[in-house]
Structure 1
Amino acid sequence: MAEPANALPREIVALRMTPAQLTALEARGFVLLARSPGPLAVGDLFRFEVPSTISTAEALRLARDLAPSAIIDFNHIYRPAQAECRDLFCQQRRTIRWPQPPNECRVEASIGLIDTTVDRNAPALSGQKVTVLDGVSGGRPLASMNHGTAIAALLIGRSDASVPGLLPRSEVVTVQAFHKSDAGEDIGDTFDIVTAVDTLLKRGLKVINLSFTGPNNRLLAEIVARSASEQTLLVAAAGNRGPTAPVVYPAGYESVVAVTAVGDDLRIYRGANRGNFVDFAAPGVNVQVVSAKVETRFETGTSFAAPFITAALAASRAQQPAASSDALVTALQSSATDLGKPGRDPVFGWGLVQVPEICP
């Protein structure tokens, strides 16, 4: 088993480890770095430094042998799914028939968000219903504010802001689960992301935006499955690695709503991942967003497409609280504009979401 390039070096994570198994690992040189403050919905979560005498891959095999009933994996890392943007402004909301200023979607919904740090003092978020929870373990430095602030403002920014939010009367509960790596990169690891999802589940959030991508992970899969069992919709970016890239996660899990990006011309974003896991397309090329440092900027990537689907599902959930997750997603499917090959396809999924019935 090779050393993973997309995981924190010298670390593994574990779920549902018994006290005896924990003792066995520590006796073999594993160092407990962090433990969930209380049982998560999927069990106790542990983060370990592996013994210095063996590789991370060897340590993973050893840990699984010592604790066969536990779920153990590398501490994979996940990155905000944004891409560099070089083009000009496009009127993306019109393509999905979202209300245009001075009109607004007046639905009041609650949305969960797991992302980088959010600047609640940004003009677009001033006075808005934003709850920010710290989700970075181990005292590591917080990630930058740009990505998280842009996503939060896109979701619920003030209606009179330079870039009005999709659901300005709604609230966002965000867990800042990304930290600054030694190399200065904004990353989130499995331990913090699984804990963040659990935090939002316990707060009763039924729609959660996940604008980041990374590898498949056993622990992440477990909390995703738990979310589905609790009728919580997870919406994720489909990825920006290109049409031949492998599936990314959490978008690749069956119960997660995976969102790709299209431009104002309804052409697929050339950097978008493709595959049978893609569910919907939404505007994600030259999306005008707010920033923690400048008033507005333009961004491209599936990160910025995901909030359009999140907002649509959150508005639907608020108006139909008794509806199942499957029913809400099926309603979006039936109203989507088919793009590409007839029916669902690996490029556009079910097509471009349309929202006139959601925000009349």
Structure 2
Amino acid sequence: MPVLIRKRRVRAAFCSAPLLLILTTGAAFAAPPSTSPQITLPSPSVSRGFGTFVITIPIISGFTPATCISKGGSVTIQGKHFGNQSGKGVALGGHGIHVDAQILSWSDASITVRIPNDPKIQLNQWYYLGIEQANHGKWLSNINKNITICASAPLAAPKLTLPMPGTPSGPAIVLPPAGSGASAQPPPESTPAPEYGGEWPGESGYPGDSGYYGDSGGLPQPSYGSLLSSPLPPVPQVPPVAPEAEKSDIEPAEVVIIHSSPDEARQFAETARGMGLSIKRRRTLKGLGLVVSVVRLPVGMTVSDALLQLRGQLPDLWADANHRFTLQADADPKSYALRMMGWDGQGVSCNTPIRIGMIDTTVTNQHPVLQGAQITQKSFLPSGIEPAPPRHGTAVAALLVAQGEHEAMAGLVPAAQLFVAGVFRGRDDALDTSAERIAYALDWLLEQRVSTINLSLGGPRNLLVEAALHRVMQTGVVVVAAAGNGGAKGAPVYPAAQQGVIAVTAIDADARLYRNATHGDYVVFSAPGVDVWSADARGGGAYFSGTSYATPFVTAALATRITRMAPAAVIEAQKKSVIDLGTPGRDPEYGWGLIQSAGRCPSSS
């Protein structure tokens, strides 16, 4: 006879929701037929002969009304297995927001809620509704069904007109008022919102066209409680590790493995032991919803051989070398940058606090121009590892938040809060970091609720960094990265070349491309990056060159507008406001062209 078990709460990687457990003690017993999704877990106690857990989860099948819903209006969620309301809530998410809905009624097959009149919810925009833990800990249901917020009756809303900065008689850029929803369209039926936590972002070639950048409503609110147990997308095809890379481009004798839950990581550890591998260290990144395991390879096994074996036996496993990344600066480095970008100090509203993240070397915040800046730093280097000199990070930080009143040293967003993750080490004559440290830093920056992340670094494609940035961009955080200093024939530099990342190249005072800039169809914007004047960690100032130093100009330009507009609208506006360089339209050298800004935020002092 079947063993009858009462409903009870099970703590697992899924959620702490009431689950119906059906246990079988032998082949003669079978669970009753069910049409609901079933998740099969390994037996927790083989000695007791336990078999399969059948877990029933809430399933949302649709909404009534099926057309658009007004802010302040009600909608009925239809589906099954909703259970009782205890410990649960309903939230509206997507496009970088997470807003609780007011529950009006609740049954096992339908829930009626009211959409709040919240300013973060944009008109004519789509969002998903889902059932979650009341403490926002985790989604309990699927979130692949969308609603659209109705646009209000047409009004003669004022338009925001910005003159083309740097060209007094240039054409005007006309933008829709923030919140008008003019650039937001409901997603086509073929591209639903993510199910159970997220799919790979947009398929188009330009990130602003894919629609996954959401309205941050000022600071981005993650559109979920925790990403742990949210599935990763399919593993992308990546080339094998080249033999020459084993010598200097990767961490020796180790491989990084990415999972979306601790249970998966523990199960892999058992598999790894059977393959002669061992876990060197493992860390759960709650902000990213990832578990990173670093595998130690046995003596004599190369990284390329280990990856070949792992990918062959476990084709769905996210596994890669622990690649090294370097700073994208020129060792051979006048003040023109602000003028080129039209950064004249006029017309920028920075009343909303700006929070910018940065992964780099540490920063010498005792430098006179940084002493009044709001800088929070954290090192991600293990004890005993010598950190890289702070010169690169100090120069990048000063371009963003320097407090000097002289234009040549004034920061772009001096009132912003800057969160610096120090990940670079000094190793012989090299300054580098690993994919593992970058992932840890990204996790911390998400916890600091930054709206924009500056990555003046680069390296080869790496699946750990790729998965971590995918998670970051799911939350609506904009990622800006240096396009690289490999020259016209250089290989694509990551993470700049990753889908969704804003890649920045460098130009000089005459708008000529930086001689060492990497070319590629992933380049989005150009910015000053040759002989730019910034703070020198050793004292005073110096000239710096490289795509590293062009990146913060784009970071600042996007961060100031994100406080007032949705990220997708910001990127679209920036595309329209650039000064086109090179071949008309977007090209592999200059991207869309020289980014422009409406002004500079006032100093915090």
Q: Flag whether TM exceeds 0.5 (same fold).
A: yes
Cross-structure match for 1:6? 249
**Greater Cα radius of gyration, structure 1 or 2:** 2
2:527 maps to 282
- The equivalent of 1:153 in structure 2 is 398
Which one of 464, 467, 472 corresponds to residue 222 of structure 1? 467
Report how far residue 53 of structure 1 moved.
2.7
With 11-20 and 207-216 compared, the bigger mean Cα shift is at 11-20
Instruction: Quote the Cα distance in structure 2 between the aligned partners of 1:163 and 1:104.
Output: 20
Per-residue deviation at 1:104? 10
Q: Give CA-to-partner distance per residue, 1:104-130, whole Å, 9 cap, x none.
A: 966241100000111121212102100
Change (3 A) 1:121 1:329: same
Query: In structure 2, do the counterparts of structure 1 residues 67 and 18 end up closer, same or farther at CA, with 3 Å as the change threshold?
Result: farther
- Which residue in 2 is equivalent to 1:122? 367
* Displacement of 1:219: 1.6
Contact 1:143/1:186, CA 8 A, preserved across alignment: yes
Give the Å deviation of 1:227.
1.9
Secondary structure of the structure 1 residue equivalent to 2:251: strand
| Residues 578 and 592 in structure 2, CA contact (< 8 A), matched pair in contact too | yes
Give the AA of the match of 2:255.
Answer: I
Distance 2:481 2:411 in 1: 19
CA distance in 2: counterparts of 1:128 and 1:249, whole angstroms:
30
> Offset at 1:20?
2.4
Change in CA separation of 1:30 and 1:140 when aligned onto 2, cut-off 3 Å: farther
Q: Tell whether the 8 Å contact from 1:60 to 1:72 is kept in structure 2 after alignment.
A: yes
| Cross-structure match for 2:424 | 178
Unaligned runs of 5+ in 1: none
Structure 2 CA distance for aligned equivalents of residues 215 and 314 of structure 1: 27
Aligned equivalents of 1:203, 1:341: Cα separation in 2: 40
Q: 1:18 maps to what in 2?
A: 265
What residue in structure 1 maps to residue 324 of structure 2? 77
2:294 pairs with 1:47: yes
Aligned to 2:443: 198
For 2:288, the aligned partner's letter is A
Task: Decide whether aligned partners of structure 1 residues 192 and 138 sit closer, same or farther in structure 2, where only a CA change above 3 A counts.
Answer: farther
Q: Deviations along 1:244-288, whole A, 9 cap, x unmatched?
A: 111110000120000000000011111101111000000000011
196-205 or 345-354, larger mean C-alpha shift: 196-205
Q: What is the identity, as a one-letter code, of the residue corresponding to 1:337?
A: I
1:104–1:167 CA contact under 8 A, matched in 2? no
Instruction: Measure, in 2, the Cα distance between the counterparts of 1:63 and 1:22.
Output: 12
Tell me, yes or no, if the aligned pair for 2:413 and 2:601 is still in contact at 8 Å.
Answer: no
The structural deviation recorded for 1:9 is 1.8
Shift of 1:359: 6.1
Check conservation: 1:151, 1:307, Cα contact below 8 A: yes
Structure 2: 5+ residue stretches without partners: 1-239
Cα-to-partner distance string for 1:27-60 (whole Å, 9 max, x where unaligned): 5443433322554524201223211131111122
Q: How far apart, in 2, do the equivalents of 1:156 and 1:90 lie? A: 17
**Matched ranges for 1:295-306 at <5 A:** 295-306=540-551
2:568 maps to which of 312, 326, 348: 326
Secondary structure, aligned partner of 2:329: coil
Secondary structure of the corresponding residue to residue 319 of structure 1? coil
Instruction: State whether residues 236 and 251 of structure 1, in contact with CA within 8 Å, keep that contact through their aligned partners in structure 2.
Output: yes
- Which residue does the alignment assign to 2:578? 336
Determine which structure has greater relative contact order: mean sequence separation of CA pairs < 8 Å that are 6+ residues apart, divided by chain length.
1
Tell me the alpha carbon deviations over residues 169-228 of structure 1, each in whole angstroms, 9 at most, x when there is no partner.
1110111111222x2421110001011112112221120000001001112111222222
Counterparts of 2:389 and 2:278, CA distance in 1: 29
1:58-69 correspondence runs (5 A):
58-65=305-312, 67-69=314-316
2:314 and 2:348 map into 1 onto residues whose CA distance is 51
Corresponding pairs, count? 352
1:20 alignment partner, SS class: helix
Note if contact 2:344-2:599 (Cα within 8 Å) is conserved in structure 1.
no
1:60 partner amino acid: L
Separation in structure 2 between the aligned mates of residue 125 and residue 29 of structure 1, nearest angstrom: 51
Q: Cα RMSD over matched residues?
A: 2.2
Percentage of pairs with the same residue: 33
What secondary structure sits across from 2:523 in the alignment? Answer: coil
**Partners of 2:568 and 2:469 in 1: CA distance:** 15
Query: More deviation in 57-66 or 310-319?
Result: 57-66
The answer to whether the 8 Å contact 2:360/2:456 transfers is: yes
Larger deviation, residues 205-214 vs 183-192: 183-192
Q: CA contact under 8 A between 2:279 and 2:296: conserved in structure 1?
A: yes
The equivalent of 2:336 in structure 1 is 91
After TM superposition, the structure 1 stretch with the greater mean CA deviation from structure 2, 346-355 or 104-113, is 104-113
> TM-score by structure 2 length?
0.55
> 2 CA distance for matches of 1:256 and 1:179?
25
Structure with greater proportional helix content: 1
Q: Which amino acid aligns with 1:8?
A: E
Q: 3-state DSSP class of the match of 2:563?
A: helix
- 1:167 is aligned to 2:413: yes
Q: Provide the C-alpha distance between the structure 2 equivalents of 1:36 and 1:184, rounded to a whole number of angstroms.
A: 29
Amino acid at match of 2:256: V
Q: CA deviation at 1:61?
A: 2.3
Determine the structure 2 residue equivalent to 1:346.
588
